[in-house]
Structure 1
Amino acid sequence: MNNSVDVVVIGAGQAGLSAAYHLRRAGYEPGTGFVVLDHAPAPGGAWQFRWPSLTYGKVHGMYDLPGMRLTTDEADAERPSSEVIPAYFTRYEHAFDLRVVRPVHVTAVRDGDDGRLLVETSAGTWSARALINATGTWDRPFWPRYPGQETFRGRQLHTAQYPGPEAFAGRRVIVVGGGASGVQHLLEIAEVAAGTTWVTRRPPVFREGPFGEVQGREAVAMVEQRVRQGLPPRSVVSVTGLPLTEAMLRAREKGILDRLPMFERITPDGVAWADGRHVEADTILWATGFRAAIDHLAPLRLREQGGGIAVEGTGAIRDPRVHLVGYGPSASTVGANRAGRAAVRDIKALLTAAPASPLAPAYSS
Structure 2
Amino acid sequence: MQPWRVLRTRRCRSARSSGVQHKRNSPRAQPVQPLKEVKMLDVVVVGAGQAGLSAAYYLARQGLRPETDFVVLDANPAPGGAWLHRWDSLTLGTAHAVHGLPGMKLPASDPAEPASAVVSGYYGSYEKEFSLPVRRPVKVRAVRPAPTHDGGLLVEADTGTFATRLVINATGTWDKPYWPHYPGVGSFAGRQLHTHDFRSVAEFAGLRVLVVGGGTSAVQFLLQLAQAGVDTAWSTRRPPEFKTGEFNQDWGRDIERRVNERTTAGLPPLSVVGVTGIPLTHQYQNGIAAGTLLSRGPLQRLTTDGAVFKDGTTFIADAVLWATGFRAALDHLAPLKIREPGGGIVMDGVKVAREPRLIMVGYGASASTLGANRAGRAAALAALDKLSVPA
TM-score w.r.t. the length of structure 2 is 0.88
Q: What pairs with 1:1-365 in structure 2 (closer than 5 Å)?
A: 1=25, 3-72=39-108, 75-113=109-147, 114-355=150-391
How many Å separate the matches in 2 of 1:60 and 1:178?
15
For the residue of structure 1 that corresponds to 2:209, the secondary structure is: strand
**1:274–1:245: structure 2 CA closer, same or farther, 3 Å change rule?**
closer
Q: Greater CA deviation, 244-253 or 270-279?
A: 270-279
Q: Indicate conservation of the 8 Å contact 1:165/1:189, yes or no.
A: yes
How many Å separate the matches in 2 of 1:274 and 1:68?
50
Cα RMSD, aligned residues only:
1.3
How many Å separate the matches in 2 of 1:350 and 1:67?
24
Structure 2: runs of 5+ lacking an equivalent: 1-24, 26-37
Q: Per-residue CA shift, 1:253-278, capped at 9, x if unaligned?
A: 11111111122111000011355322
For the residue of structure 1 that corresponds to 2:377, the secondary structure is: helix
How many Å separate the matches in 2 of 1:193 and 1:128?
54
How many Å separate the matches in 2 of 1:278 and 1:59?
32
Q: Per-residue CA shift, 1:117-149, capped at 9, x if unaligned?
A: 000000111001011000000000000111111
How many Å separate the matches in 2 of 1:288 and 1:236?
11
How many Å separate the matches in 1 of 2:179 and 2:208?
20
Q: Indicate conservation of the 8 Å contact 2:256/2:365, yes or no.
A: yes
Structure 1: runs of 5+ lacking an equivalent: 356-365
Q: Indicate conservation of the 8 Å contact 2:49/2:82, yes or no.
A: yes
For the residue of structure 2 that corresponds to 1:143, the secondary structure is: coil
How many Å separate the matches in 2 of 1:76 and 1:274?
43
Q: Per-residue CA shift, 1:203-251, capped at 9, x if unaligned?
A: 1111113223332222111110111111111255541111111111111
Aligned-residue identity in percent: 53
How many Å separate the matches in 2 of 1:238 and 1:100?
33
TM-score w.r.t. the length of structure 1 is 0.94
Equivalences, count: 353
**1:312–1:299: structure 2 CA closer, same or farther, 3 Å change rule?**
same
Q: Per-residue CA shift, 1:149-177, capped at 9, x if unaligned?
A: 11111111000111122222221111100
How many Å separate the matches in 1 of 2:271 and 2:300?
26
Once the two structures are TM-superposed, the CA of residue 56 in structure 1 deviates from its matched residue by: 1.0
Once the two structures are TM-superposed, the CA of residue 193 in structure 1 deviates from its matched residue by: 3.7
Q: Indicate conservation of the 8 Å contact 2:297/2:310, yes or no.
A: no
For the residue of structure 1 that corresponds to 2:163, the secondary structure is: strand
**1:156–1:193: structure 2 CA closer, same or farther, 3 Å change rule?**
farther
Once the two structures are TM-superposed, the CA of residue 4 in structure 1 deviates from its matched residue by: 2.2
How many Å separate the matches in 1 of 2:242 and 2:40?
50
